[in-house]
Structures are given as C-alpha cells and as structure tokens.
Amino acid sequence: MATEKDLLVARIFLRALFPVMKVPLTDDPKMKKRFRGVTARIQFVARDPNGDIGAYLDFTDGELDIIQGVHETPDIAFIFSSVSKMNAMLAGKPVIPKIKGIYRLGLFIKVLALFLSLKVLEPDAKPKDSVKRRLKVKMTVYMITTALSQYNKGGDPEMVDWTSKQPERVYQISVTGEEDIAAYFKVKAGKSKAGRGFYTKRRPFVHMKFNGIDGALPILLNEVNMVEAVRDGLLSLEGSPEYGRDIGNFMVRLQDLMM
C-alpha cells in the first residue's frame, strides 16, 4: 500500500512533471515533427489496494493534454505494481514496468523519445546544444512553479503552514531576454495556484529573475547557491529576501523528494 509520501511524490510527478512534456513538442522541431498527426492515449498507472494512481497522455492530431486518472482503453499502458515503483522509474531509476500495446511499435518509439526528453531535467544533465539548454531552463521553470503548488495541495505540513499564514501573494520566476520563459506560484490563505507567463493582476511579492539562459543553468545545476548567484549577477531577487529564501528552500526539498 502506498505511503503518504509515495502519494505526494506521485502527485508531483503526474501533475508537475508530465505537463512539461508539452514544451519539447512545441519548441523542439524534431519532436514536433515526430508527433505530427498522432492521435493516441498513453497511460501510466500504478496499482494500489486503495485505488490505482495514474495519468495519461492524450494526443489529438499531435496536440498533447495530460489527463489525471485511468483511461479504460489506452493505446499503450505502462503498468507498475506499486506507486513507489512508478515514482522510482519517473525519478530515473532502473524500474521496468509491464507494457501493454508495445506491438504498436512506431507509436511506442515516439513515446519513448518524448519520455527520454525529460532526462534534460536531471540535476546533473548539462546540455551543450543551445536548443536543449533552453529547453532545460524552460521546462524547469514551468515544473518548479507547478510542483510548489502541488506540494502545498498534496498536504506537506511545512508547506501548508507556510502558505496558510499568507495573504494573496505572487511568486514570479522569469528569465531575462526570454519572454516565454516565465511562470508564477500564487498563494492565499493556504490555497495555491501555478501558471505560466507573467502574472499581471498584481505586482509579484517576490520576483526571481535569472540572467538569461547562461545565468540560469549554473543555479539549476546546483553549481552555485542563491547567495552566490545574486553576488555574481546570475540572479536578481526583487521583493522580500526572507520569502525568496523560503521559496529556494522549498525548491531544494522538492528536488530531493523527486530524486
């Protein structure tokens, strides 16, 4: 039976990691071409006595949506005997699921390529290609903000305590010179919401600005901490430094949780 931690980790993977698969489908010309015209349902599901946990990739003519839950008749299904094993595989560990529909070989190869594109998010992944470097930063920014909200919604005690004491506040992350690489995390009295782009209805309470792709990567690769990043001009922090530090600490905890 899945533990509370297993369920929290699965929630973050399925609701924060899976959606960033949309980025290579739109920003990587080769990946976009590979899925042109594809209509299919790809299920990831973990068996559990209290009810199966999963989500599926819903392709319609190459466009992707992530649907939480279990599809009755997926084209391909990756089936795990437990939630912990699914989490382990999504964290990059060598876990082999049961696969139904593998005879759809062409589709399976496409899905495998898309799934492998997530490896750019691994903490030690240091892409040299400019397209992949940009993908790493964009996917990470999108994933971090969504993961923070799911961490709160999943009931982590410290995160819930932190968000419950705040009025409506927006925590914005952006990359200088890259208008489409921006996302935010909004909290209000214990509730939270994540979104992509710039929040325009109010001024951010904290705004973390990476100094371009080259400024963001050393921070995302954990080569420098936030204090060093600000000192070296890789990052500027507008707003409350105390709460900015809190966000940084939660980001580190999330990274450790997903490894």
- Report domain extents, the chain: 4-121, 130-257
* Residues in CB range of 175: below 8 A, 6 or more apart: 137, 138, 141, 181, 182, 209, 210, 212, 213, 215, 216
Residue with tokens 């105390």: 242
Q: Which is nearest to 145 in space by CA: 189, 114, 182?
A: 182
- CB count within 10 Å of CB 45 equals 22
CATH superfamily of this structure's domain 4-121: SCP2 sterol-binding domain (3.30.1050.10)
Query: Do the domains spanning 4-121 and 130-257 agree at the CATH topology level?
Result: yes
**pLDDT classification of 227: cutoffs 50, 70, 90:** confident
Q: What is the pLDDT of residues 234-244, one digit of tens each?
A: 999 899 888 88
Q: Is 258 helix (H, G, I), strand (E, B) or coil?
A: coil
Q: What is the pLDDT of residues 17-76, one digit of tens each?
A: 999 999 999 999 999 999 999 999 999 999 999 999 999 999 999 999 999 999 999 999
Q: How far apart are CA 101 and CA 79, in angstroms?
A: 11
Q: What is the pLDDT of residues 177-221, one digit of tens each?
A: 998 999 999 999 999 999 999 999 999 999 999 999 999 999 888
Domain range 130-257, CATH architecture: 2-Layer Sandwich (3.30)
Pairing of strands 98-100, 191-196: unpaired
| pLDDT value of residue 100 | 96
Q: What percent of the chain has pLDDT over 90?
A: 79
Global pTM reads 0.93
